[in-house]
Amino acid sequence: MIESKPKKGRIIFHIDMNSFFASVEQAHDPSLKGKPVAVAGNPKERKGIVVTCSYEARAHGVYTTMPVWEARRKCPELIVIPPDHNRYRDASDAMFSLLRTYTELVEPVSIDEGYLDVSDVEWPGNAVGLSEEMQRRILTELDLPCSIGIAPNKFLAKTASDMKKPMGITILRKRDVPSVLWPLPVIEMHGIGKSTEEKLQSLKIRTIGDLAAAPEGFLKENLGKRGLHLKRRANGIDSRPVDPESVHERKSVGGSVTLPVDETDPAELKKTLRKLSEKVALRLDRRELAGDLVTIQIRDADWVNHSRSRTLTNAIHTADAICREAELLFDRHYGGQPVRLLGVTIGRVIDRSETTEQLSIFNYEKHAKEEPVLKMIGELESKFGKGTVTKGFSGPKSGGRQG
């Protein structure tokens, strides 16, 4: 461990692995390097969906969530590989272990990205030199490329790491915000999705600079507390610490209800699950949270509590998604006993602005079912430009991004 000493101001790194799954496959099999590679679920079937792809494949117009048949049409020489999640998890663990040789202040955000607070790390040189050393070691020791954003806070570090890929290192200081961020359309700001963009557009807030200058009262009236949160981000303000324990200590949002009679009718019980899911979704919305741990509580007529949980690949926050998962747990575990109380909880909640969809071996089949929609989106984007159509989500742009 490098010895540390206090320094003025915070220095935050955001490490973002480039095209992670495909890069891991190329590291595992060096013969794939320099070739168009796609990791895809059910690669031999028509319904297969691209999980992620190498930059060589992207150069041919292949992108994440594209059906495999379409990817092969665009790039006939595309090498399609089924996902190996254990391999990716091992590579992720190795990457975070390497980062912890510099500081214990490492906060994983997903399998392929995380924050570091290096404010107190003693290094012969400046922060750029330290980031170059980290990037070099990740490449030489793990054979994996990454981009690094350097900034005084998490929001700006995340924004910076997205600016140059692959193998980029970008500094974004608070004084750079007016010249670098303010001219950009609001959809380019980390934490703003299509629905939020549409709302802001209706308020004549079109650029990040417009958002930064908007009166607080106006934003609160139209967007609630989230409006004030977005204004702070647009001004480059973010006081969140890098918290190594956040991945283990996320809070939960839930609700329960005692039924008027001991109920045994599954249809009636599911109606209650729906109402509870709607209440939980409303509470999550008020706090702009999402979570990936769904728990249902069933208390029977003998006052015995039964709790069943399911961990998801992606954090959820909508009533439909919560209800769907709650019903799956209910169908799997309900034994027909009279029910006195039902509860639904979403655990391991995080700020929705930190939520990105990790398209992986656990959810590619869900995307495969959406193939007709994805095909339509692909056609529209081909005609009008990438990003023209996005899935509704008041958070970061979705689509299983893997830098």
> Is residue 45 annotated as part of the catalytic site, yes or no?
no
Do 101 and 66 fall into the same domain? yes
Angle at 399 between CA 220 and CA 206, to 5 degrees: 35
Instruction: Determine the average pLDDT of the residues in 167-196.
Output: 93
Pairing of strands 146-151, 12-17: antiparallel
* pLDDT tens digits, 289-335: 888 899 999 988 777 788 899 988 788 999 999 999 999 999 998 98
What is the DSSP secondary-structure string of 163-188? SSTTT-EEE--GGGHHHHTTTSBGGG
Q: What is the pLDDT of residue 356?
A: 52
Do 345 and 371 fall into the same domain? no
CB atoms < 10 A from the CB of 31, how many? 8
**Range from 82-96, 122-136, 256-270, 294-308 carrying the lowest mean pLDDT:** 294-308
**Could you tell me the two tokens for 372?**
């007709």
Amino acid identity at 137 = R
pLDDT band at 236 (very low <50, low <70, confident <90, very high): very high
Do 265 and 348 fall into the same domain? yes
CATH number for 324: 3.30.1490.100
Three-state secondary-structure class, residue 70: helix
Is 150 within a domain?
yes
**Could you tell me the two tokens for 388?**
């023209």
Amino acid identity at 280 = V
Range of the domain at 36: 10-173+362-385
Is 298 within a domain?
yes
Sequence length of the chain is 403
Instruction: Determine the average pLDDT of the residues in 139-162.
Output: 97
**Could you tell me the two tokens for 385?**
């430009």
Instruction: Determine the average pLDDT of the residues in 18-41.
Output: 95
SS3 content of the chain, % helix, strand, coil (to 5): 40, 25, 35
pTM of the model: 0.68
* pLDDT tens digits, 350-402: 877 665 555 554 454 454 454 455 455 555 555 555 444 444 433 333 334 45
- Of 319 and 252, the one with more pLDDT: 319
Find all residues with CB under 8 Å of 113, minimum gap 6, and list them: 14, 15, 16, 17, 161, 403
Instruction: Determine the average pLDDT of the residues in 59-64.
Output: 94
Do 279 and 368 fall into the same domain? no
Do 46 and 105 fall into the same domain? yes
Q: What is the pLDDT of residue 320?
A: 94
Instruction: Determine the average pLDDT of the residues in 227-232.
Output: 94
CA 161 to chain centre: 15
Do 272 and 380 fall into the same domain? no
**Could you tell me the two tokens for 397?**
């742009």
Q: Is residue 112 part of an annotated ligand binding site?
A: yes
Q: What is the pLDDT of residue 350?
A: 81
Do 373 and 279 fall into the same domain? no
Q: What is the pLDDT of residue 387?
A: 46
**Could you tell me the two tokens for 362?**
């656990």
Q: What is the pLDDT of residue 3?
A: 35
Do 339 and 366 fall into the same domain? no
CATH number for 15: 3.30.70.270
Evaluate whether 50 touches 65 at the Cβ level (below 8 Å).
yes
Three-state secondary-structure class, residue 31: helix
Do 376 and 336 fall into the same domain? no
Is 192 within a domain?
no
Instruction: Determine the average pLDDT of the residues in 95-117.
Output: 93
**For residue 345, what are the β-bridge partners?**
254, 295
State the Cα–Cα distance between residues 30 and 26, nearest whole angstrom. Answer: 5
% pLDDT > 90, the chain: 60
Residue 156: CA atoms inside 13 Å, Cβ hemisphere, count?
A: 26
Do 16 and 164 fall into the same domain? yes
Nearest-Å Rg of the Cα atoms of the chain is: 23
**Range from 79-83, 102-106, 233-237, 302-306 carrying the lowest mean pLDDT:** 302-306
* pLDDT tens digits, 338-351: 998 999 999 888 87
Evaluate whether 12 touches 154 at the Cβ level (below 8 Å).
yes
Three-state secondary-structure class, residue 15: strand
- Omega within 30 of 0 (cis) for the link into 244: no
Query: Domain count of the chain?
Result: 2
Is 120 within a domain?
yes
**Range from 49-63, 250-264, 291-305, 375-389 carrying the lowest mean pLDDT:** 375-389
Is 218 within a domain?
no
Instruction: Determine the average pLDDT of the residues in 231-259.
Output: 85
Find all residues with CB under 8 Å of 88, minimum gap 6, and list them: 20, 21, 24, 111, 360
Q: What is the pLDDT of residue 138?
A: 97
Is 112 within a domain?
yes
**Range from 107-121, 174-188, 368-382 carrying the lowest mean pLDDT:** 368-382
Instruction: Determine the average pLDDT of the residues in 254-259.
Output: 88
Do 139 and 33 fall into the same domain? yes
Is 84 within a domain?
yes
Is 59 within a domain?
yes
CB atoms < 10 A from the CB of 43, how many? 20
Do 153 and 271 fall into the same domain? no
- Determine which one of 107, 113, 288, 354 is catalytic: 113
